[in-house]
């Protein structure tokens, strides 16, 4: 890759971002949108700075709720994926149920979780878990189930046990699938936490946005959205870096 | 179809294409070549989901140290034969014996290689080659203690097949021929008594393929393991094997076997001799006839 195109790679998203901001200003100017409907980027930035203290506190709460829910999803997803990916019977019996479960709108679960667990962190963590575990389960199962039968023959004829095959081949082989799932699932986990917080919490970014919107402070609401977006991007980046470190063998190189 | 047998010629022919479901075809004369390592006694196999038998009434013996090749039209159950001999699939009827003992479950101390190299893409060549040491008993038990020794053995085998300098490369950095060399090394590094090859050279170009024939020939000459080679390349079969078995189209049956009396070690030049061409031609004609029958 020549240096010019590398420079382009870094500049392109910045340029696009600036174009979108400009368009935002243009829309507000042309249609004279009042700020309690659509605040300008400057107003959002001002509120971000003015309310940085409650936003940081709430952001931290939302982050750890999301990460705990995601960690649970990772554990359950890997175990469930390993079972479904290695056992035909488990696949046949559990997969249709999983697909059905995934189709249920998870926000409908929030009232149920509130009845069961009350307000606060637990429903938020569980919502993050519920949204995140499905893609992880499916991808781990796929990674394991697409193991080449010849390779399995080679290992079995060497006397390998099922556990050997899982540890030496299955797990490393499904790592790229797992990372792909993590990058999708972390965003879903944020969605789950924030949805739950808007209804069933008096802390967290979701609650903060709800409170701000009820007093028509739209710039504050948008500041909350920006914080969620940034946190999600950072987590995505973490997984992308881990992925290139741990599964470099699976990526295309020039 | 009458059974003819011409001993002492380059080609002896046993059995016919007809449905001979009697006792094992006559003409097994392995007594001179040591005890049989593999014995199939009228083996039938039906896959659980399949209709009809994949292979029917296969009876044959492979002597210890013998190199046999199995040829036949595609879909004739050649790969099924490998699964039977490796113990990965138990026969529906009949018995498979390895070294005189009936196979129950996957045979240990067997090396396998396939058309796809099936190397682990996250392991280097060297790490791929010594994988068997991490799995096969008794090496596995002493893995930590002997790791250095195992590495050396893997390394010397890698050198023997001409892969020196590529030990620390990942499979995707190797050409197809190199991957198959590595795959052969992995199949042989724990010095199995039996090597099972399922069209290992089928995906390679003609030059690389012939190079690898010679690599396999030399390894076999040096270590004297037993080889079962499944292939649809008749030249490959005749060049490498002591005995070539022909299977009929599905349901697979062994309809003929020929001892290849060309002297070992065979040079690639032998493939251009009239004697060699005659054997290949005869086999080709025969397979053509049973395919159209």
Query: What percent of chain B is predicted at pLDDT more than 90?
Result: 21
Q: Give the chain A residue nearest B89 (alpha carbons).
A: A153
Res. A1: pLDDT tops 70: no
Q: What is the pLDDT of residues A83-135, one digit of tens each?
A: 998 888 999 999 899 999 889 888 888 999 999 998 889 999 999 999 999 99
Query: In this structure, what token pair is assigned to residue B187?
Result: 């199949």
Q: Would you say B277 and B238 are in contact if contact means Cβ atoms under 8 Å apart?
A: no
d(CA A50, CA B183): 64
- Residues of A within 8 A of B172 (CB-CB) are 249
Res. B17: pLDDT tops 50: no
Query: Which among B112, B137, B170 has CB closest to A157?
Result: B112
* pLDDT value, residue B167: 87
pLDDT band of A253, cuts 50, 70, 90:
low
Looking at the complex, report in whole angstroms how far the Cα of residue B179 sits from the nearest Cα belonging to chain A. 14
Query: What percent of chain A is predicted at pLDDT more than 90?
Result: 65
* pLDDT value, residue A159: 82
Res. B19: pLDDT tops 50: no
- Residues of B within 8 A of A150 (CB-CB) are 112, 114, 116, 118, 198
Looking at the complex, report in whole angstroms how far the Cα of residue A148 sits from the nearest Cα belonging to chain B. 8
Domain chopping of chain A, boundaries: 1-33, 39-250
Query: What percent of chain A is predicted at pLDDT more than 70?
Result: 98
* pLDDT value, residue B143: 77
d(CA B113, CA A153): 10
Res. B24: pLDDT tops 80: no
Quote the mean pLDDT of chain A.
Answer: 91
Residue B136 sits at the chain A interface (C-beta within 8 Å)? yes
Q: List B114's β-bridge partners, or say none.
A: B198
Res. A22: pLDDT tops 70: yes
Q: Which domains does chain B have, with CATH numbers?
A: 1-109+202-293 (3.40.50.300), 112-192 (no CATH)
d(CA A207, CA B226): 73
d(CA A188, CA A186): 5
Query: Which among A148, A159, A249 has CB closest to B170?
Result: A249
Q: What is the pLDDT of residues B252-263, one digit of tens each?
A: 888 888 898 888
d(CA A96, CA B123): 36
Q: Is the peptide bond before B251 cis (omega within 30 degrees of 0)?
A: yes
Residue A52 sits at the chain B interface (C-beta within 8 Å)? no
Q: What is the 3-state secondary structure (H, E, C) of B96-111?
A: EEECCEECCCCCCCEE
Q: What is the pLDDT of residues B93-106, one digit of tens each?
A: 988 888 888 888 88
**N-terminal to C-terminal alpha carbon distance within chain A:** 9
Coil, strand or helix: which one is A87?
coil
Residue A97, judged by CB atoms within 10 A of its CB (0-12, 13-18, 19+), counts as exposed
Q: What is the pLDDT of residues B46-71, one digit of tens each?
A: 888 877 888 888 888 888 889 999 99
Q: List B95's β-bridge partners, or say none.
A: B41
CATH class of A39-250: mainly alpha
Q: List B62's β-bridge partners, or say none.
A: B38
pLDDT band of A55, cuts 50, 70, 90:
very high
Query: In this structure, what token pair is assigned to residue B200?
Result: 């290992």
For residue B103, the tally of other CB atoms under 10 A from its CB is 20
Scanning A205-234 for CB atoms below 8 A from B yields none
b/e burial code for range B55-73 (CB count within 10 A of at least 16 → b)? bbbbbbbbbbbbbbbbbbb
Largest CA distance in chain B: 60
d(CA A195, CA A192): 5
Query: In this structure, what token pair is assigned to residue A50?
Result: 């003015």
* pLDDT value, residue A168: 87
Quote the mean pLDDT of chain B.
Answer: 82
Query: Which among A153, A160, A249 has CB closest to B122?
Result: A249
Residue listed under structure tokens 């300098």: B165
- Residues of A within 8 A of B87 (CB-CB) are 157
* pLDDT value, residue B224: 86
The full length of chain B comes to 293
Largest CA distance in chain A: 74
Residue B270, judged by CB atoms within 10 A of its CB (0-12, 13-18, 19+), counts as middle
Q: State CA A230 to chain mean position distance.
A: 12
Rounded (10°) CA dihedral B147, B150, B154, B157: 160
Looking at the complex, report in whole angstroms how far the Cα of residue B198 sits from the nearest Cα belonging to chain A. 10
């Amino acid at each position: 890759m020549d240096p010019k195109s590398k420079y382009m790679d870094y500049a392109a998203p910045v340029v696009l971002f600036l174009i979108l901001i400009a368009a935002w200003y243009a829309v507000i100017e042309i249609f004279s949108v009042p700020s309690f409907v659509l605040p300008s980027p400057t107003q959002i930035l001002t509120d971000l700075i003015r309310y940085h203290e409650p936003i940081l506190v709430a952001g931290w709460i939302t982050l750890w709720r999301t990460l705990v829910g995601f960690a649970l999803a990772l554990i359950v997803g890997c175990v469930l994926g390993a079972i479904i990916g290695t056992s035909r019977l488990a696949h046949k019996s559990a997969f249709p149920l999983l697909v059905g479960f995934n189709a249920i709108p998870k926000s409908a679960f929030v009232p149920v979780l509130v009845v069961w667990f009350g307000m606060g962190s637990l429903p938020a963590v569980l919502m993050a878990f519920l949204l995140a575990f499905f893609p992880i389960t499916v991808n781990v199962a796929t990674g394991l189930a697409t193991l080449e039968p010849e390779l399995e023959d080679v290992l079995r004829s060497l006397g390998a046990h099922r556990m050997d095959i899982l540890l030496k081949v299955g797990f490393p082989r499904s790592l790229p699938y797992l990372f792909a799932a993590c990058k999708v699932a972390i965003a879903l986990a944020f969605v789950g936490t924030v949805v739950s917080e808007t209804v069933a919490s008096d802390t967290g970014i979701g609650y903060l946005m709800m409170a701000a919107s009820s007093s028509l402070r739209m710039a504050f609401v948008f500041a909350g959205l920006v914080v969620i977006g940034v946190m999600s991007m950072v987590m995505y980046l973490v997984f992308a870096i881990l992925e290139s470190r741990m599964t470099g063998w699976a990526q295309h190189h020039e | 179809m009458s059974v003819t047998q011409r001993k002492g010629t380059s080609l002896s022919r046993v059995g016919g294409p007809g449905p001979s479901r009697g006792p094992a075809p006559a003409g097994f004369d392995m007594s001179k070549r040591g005890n049989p390592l593999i014995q199939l006694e009228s083996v039938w196999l039906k896959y659980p989901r399949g209709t009809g038998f994949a292979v029917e009434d296969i009876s044959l013996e492979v002597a210890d140290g013998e190199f046999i090749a199995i040829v036949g039209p595609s879909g004739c159950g050649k790969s099924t034969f490998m699964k039977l001999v490796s113990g990965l699939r138990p026969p529906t009827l009949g018995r498979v014996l390895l070294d005189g003992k009936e196979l129950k479950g996957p045979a240990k101390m067997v090396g396998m290689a396939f058309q796809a190299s099936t190397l682990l893409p996250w392991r280097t060549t060297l790490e791929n080659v010594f994988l068997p040491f991490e799995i096969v008993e008794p090496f596995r038990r002493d893995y930590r203690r002997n790791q250095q020794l195992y590495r050396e053995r893997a390394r010397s085998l890698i050198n023997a097949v001409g892969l020196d300098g590529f030990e620390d490369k990942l499979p995707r950095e190797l050409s197809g021929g190199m991957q198959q060399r590595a795959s052969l090394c992995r199949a042989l590094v724990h010095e199995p008594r039996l090597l099972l090859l399922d069209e290992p050279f089928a995906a390679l170009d003609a030059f690389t393929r012939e190079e690898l024939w010679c690599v396999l020939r030399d390894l076999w000459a040096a270590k004297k393991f037993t080889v079962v080679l499944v292939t649809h390349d008749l030249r490959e079969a005749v060049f490498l094997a002591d005995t070539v078995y022909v299977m009929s189209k599905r349901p697979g049956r062994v309809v003929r076997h020929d001892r290849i009396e060309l002297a070992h070690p065979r040079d690639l030049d032998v493939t251009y001799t009239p004697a060699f061409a005659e054997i290949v031609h005869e086999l080709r004609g025969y397979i053509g006839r049973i395919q159209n029958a």
